[in-house]
A and B are shown apart, each in its own frame.
Chain A
């Protein structure tokens, strides 16, 4: 990339007339325009700024940016309405999320087991945020899943046992029984030893993940976290939660929609095309309005949790955009791959899972990360339907009577936070693109 740019530069320098004069004039003009904008901003934001103090200090004439406001309000801006004593929980969730994201960026972690580890992590994060009965229920669930996962059962039997275990775990009532939970998780680990042959390293990794998750959940259940309704989930953790669950939940649906749109069966193709085109053709706001106002009517007055409703519609929205990206990737695979897989006797799903999708994701990862960045920004729209996300928390904090008239600093703080997330994600995308060696520029 660098080589191409410098050879292009020298080529133009050698060939275009008057280059040096124009070049210098343009440079001068650009630098002076930039200085005209940047110097006053730097003076306002850094030199004249008030870093600590009260509102009076900020109102002194000649004072610049009031960062004291941001410092005072930062806890509210980030955590929203989550009770102050329990704010270590969303903080823990965000730290875990950051660690998991950073770890997943490295090549040794690009394997199937990471997905299962992420699912376990999401369960733990959910339990931490919500508290109450959920750590116990999820500990049981993880225990049963470990048993089912590592058991010698195969195929449908294993899926049936896991499904039944999950249902049973959710309907179990009664006081948390530590010994039972601990026993279940331990049983899972023991069965691992009697489990199937295969890559022992990855089995060990998975067993460790299950044990960690199960252990964390058991510890939380015994410590007794207080139950926090989803209405108190607000601020930055809500934004991260919506984006993460949205992207994660959208993947299976997007794969189905993309394959369905390419299907040769008319009914499936028409249905999938219709869903994708309609959801992509309308603004996200209309879908949010639909979820917030229309769904209660359709369900005859019964509403379930607003957060779940918004999350589900967000998953549908993301899935349709993701489906188009995946469809582009599917189209880029040469037909010979499909034919060769058929010639080997692979049926439809084994074909897709082992031959096609590894290639598709290699091609489409930059576009998918681009979509993730856009979704992260679009979660700010939920403030219009009443969910209290990060942007809304910042706007609310600006209405405080003690700090009246100070709004720019809040917007700068919000912009900076979003910028950090999105910029890092876009750099990650460029890095992955380079590592995968595919030149897929958009």
Chain B
């Protein structure tokens, strides 16, 4: 760690001029800060707003159309913001997974020697990347709205209904008396995932999945776990789990937009692997698929992780566009809270802090993962 330089000149000698200048600059910034806070205080005082967070306990009085946890308009503003945050996290996780599942194959397709495949993926990437995300979200919303009404819902697979009201799928319902609910199971699976990455052993995840399936099967036989099948009842669909149309539109729009950028990143990563690697793989008679999976992709990962981190963070930030299509994410909750309670400064601060924390978490995880896959050199 080099010494901090306080001298402004290249010669390096600390002169009185440097000290005085920097002290003046510091004084100027502090003064500016004080003036800004006074102006803010005055402005807020005149508008009748006080800078405290007590309003988070008052009743929200606005509905949120979907939430993973129980919410009603009689809950507090703070709870509404938490529900919004969970909705954003839901979109972020599902979006990142789908984006990776689509983006990586398309990126590999871009590097294929087959001209048709290259052209196809190039058109896909160019069309997606050269149109605004908001426009694509509006298009997806229009697509989802043009699905048939509930009475004539599509059934791509038996017991799965796709209609204007969203996607209805069969789910398993856990008896409330059981020690762990779906939240607990998700937490245990997340822990197993983390352990598997830390220990570099995919079998940990495999075994946890096996244990989970066996437990659910046992629950099915004893009656603690019951399947819930959606079926057409009257004017709607009863039973089963439902995924709202706004969630579908937002997730598909975000994932497809992100997958195009990810495809370009993956393509540059694959091209950065030397031709000698392909030749060496051929000389030990690996097939194309094996070459890509065992030789090329691990090396690509090293190159691709930093830009992919920023792409994932872009997806999280882009999820804020949900407010334009009616999905109740944290920006929607914050916006409504702001308008109803009038506490603009605090809500905006909370909103910005939330996004900064989410981005920091993704960044920390990816930096750690990046460190893990780096080449160990002297």
A residues neighboring B (CB under 8 Å): 8-9, 11-13, 15-17, 23, 26-27, 30-31, 33-34, 264-267, 271, 278, 281-286, 289-290, 293-294, 297-301, 342, 347-348, 373, 377-378, 380-381, 383-384, 391, 395, 407-408, 411, 414-415, 418-419, 422-423, 426, 441-442
Q: By the criterion CB–CB under 8 Å, are A294 and B348 in contact?
A: yes
- Tell me the bound Cα distance from A342 to B10 in angstroms: 8
Q: A12 is contacted by which of B39, B113, B132, B318 (Cβ under 8 Å)?
A: B113
Stretch at the interface among B135-143, B195-203, B212-220, B294-302: B135-143
Q: A281-B313, A297-B40, A442-B268 are in contact. List 4 more A-B contacts (CB 8 A).
A: A265-B8, A266-B6, A283-B317, A426-B126
Q: By the criterion CB–CB under 8 Å, are A285 and B321 in contact?
A: yes
A287 to B206, CA, bound (A): 43
Tell me if B180 counts as interface (CB < 8 A to partner A): no
Per DSSP, chain B at the interface is helix
Cα(A348)–Cα(B7), bound, Å:
13
- Partner-contacting stretch, out of B224-232, B352-360, B370-378: B352-360
Closest A-chain residue to B129, C-beta based?
Answer: A422
- The residue from A16, A282, A384 contacting B288, defined by CB atoms under 8 A apart: A16
B338 with A293: CB separation less than 8 A: yes
**Which residue on chain B has the smallest CB distance to residue A279?**
B352
CA distance A77 to B5 in the complex (A): 56
Interchain CB contact under 8 A, A415 and B142: no
Given A11-B275, A301-B43, A301-B47, do A281 and B355 touch, yes or no (CB 8 Å)?
yes
Q: Are the C-beta atoms of B42 and A300 separated by less than 8 Å?
A: yes
Judge if B130 is at the interface, Cβ distance under 8 Å.
yes
B331 interface residue, CB < 8 Å from A?
yes
CA distance A367 to B113 in the complex (A): 27
Is A286 touching B320 in the complex (CB atoms < 8 A)? Answer: yes
Given the interface contacts A301-B46, A441-B268, does A281 sit within 8 Å of B359 by beta carbon?
yes
* B323 with A294: CB separation less than 8 A: no
Of the candidates A283, A286, A411, A422, which one forms a contact with B130 in the assembled complex, judged by CB atoms under 8 Å apart? A422
CA distance A422 to B128 in the complex (A): 11
Cα A23 to Cα B282 with chains together (Å): 18
Closest chain-B Cβ to A332's Cβ sits at a distance in Å of 15
Asked whether any CB of chain A lies closer than 8 Å to the CB of B74, the reply is no
Residues of B within 8 A of A282 (CB): 317, 351-352, 355-356
Complex CA distance for A135 and B264, rounded to whole angstroms: 46
| Inter-subunit contact B139/A27 (CB<8 Å) | no
User: Are B132 and A391 in contact, CB atoms less than 8 angstroms apart?
Assistant: yes
Let me know if A381 and B268 touch, CB within 8 A: no
Contact B5 A265 (CB under 8 A): yes
Tell me if A27 and B116 are in contact (CB < 8 A): yes
Instruction: Establish whether residues A415 and B345, one from each chain, have CB atoms under 8 Å apart when the complex forms.
Output: no
| CA A17 to CA B282, docked complex, whole Å | 10
Determine the chain B residues whose CB is within 8 A of the CB of A342 once the complex forms.
Answer: 10
Which residue of B43, B134, B135, B265 contacts A300 across the interface (Cβ within 8 Å)?
B43
Q: Is B186 in contact with chain A by the CB < 8 A criterion?
A: no
Residues of B within 8 A of A442 (CB): 264-265, 268, 307
A368 CA to B139 CA, complexed, in Å? 29
B131 pairs with A300, CB closer than 8 A: no
Give 30 pairs: A residue, B residue, CB < 8 Å, sorted on A.
A15-B282, A26-B116, A27-B115, A265-B22, A266-B6, A267-B25, A281-B360, A282-B356, A283-B321, A283-B355, A284-B317, A286-B320, A286-B348, A286-B351, A289-B335, A297-B47, A297-B49, A300-B43, A380-B132, A383-B134, A383-B324, A391-B135, A395-B138, A411-B138, A418-B130, A419-B127, A423-B126, A441-B268, A442-B264, A442-B307
Considering the complex, give the chain B residue whose CB is closest to the CB of A6: B113
CB-contact partner of B344 in A17, A293, A395, under 8 A: A293
What is the chain B residue whose CB lies nearest that of A296?
Answer: B43
Q: Are B40 and A27 in contact (CB under 8 A)?
A: no
Determine the distance from Cα of A126 to Cα of B169 in the docked complex, in whole angstroms: 56
Min CB distance, A37 to chain B, in Å?
A: 10
Q: Are B126 and A34 in contact (CB under 8 A)?
A: no
Chain A positions within 8 Å of B151 at CB level: none
Neighbouring A residues of B22 by C-beta, 8 Å: 265, 267
Q: Is the CB of A298 within 8 A of B275?
A: no
Contacts of A9 in B (CB 8 A): 113
Report the bound CA distance from A299 to B160 in whole Å: 54
Q: Chain B residues near A23: list those with CB within 8 A.
A: 113-114
- B56: chain A residues at CB < 8 Å are none
Q: Which residues of B contact A15 (CB under 8 A)?
A: 279, 282
Q: Which residues of B contact A31 (CB under 8 A)?
A: 116
Tell me which of B10, B25, B44, B117 has the highest count of chain A C-beta atoms within 10 A of its own C-beta: B10
| CB-defined contacts of A8 to chain B, threshold 8 Å | 113, 275
Residues of B within 8 A of A348 (CB): 10
**Chain A residues positioned under 8 Å from B287 (CB to CB):** 16-17
Query: Is the Cβ of B320 less than 8 Å from the Cβ of A283?
Result: yes
Contact of A380 among B42, B116, B134, B279 (CB under 8 A): B134
Chain B residues with Cβ below 8 Å from A395 are 138
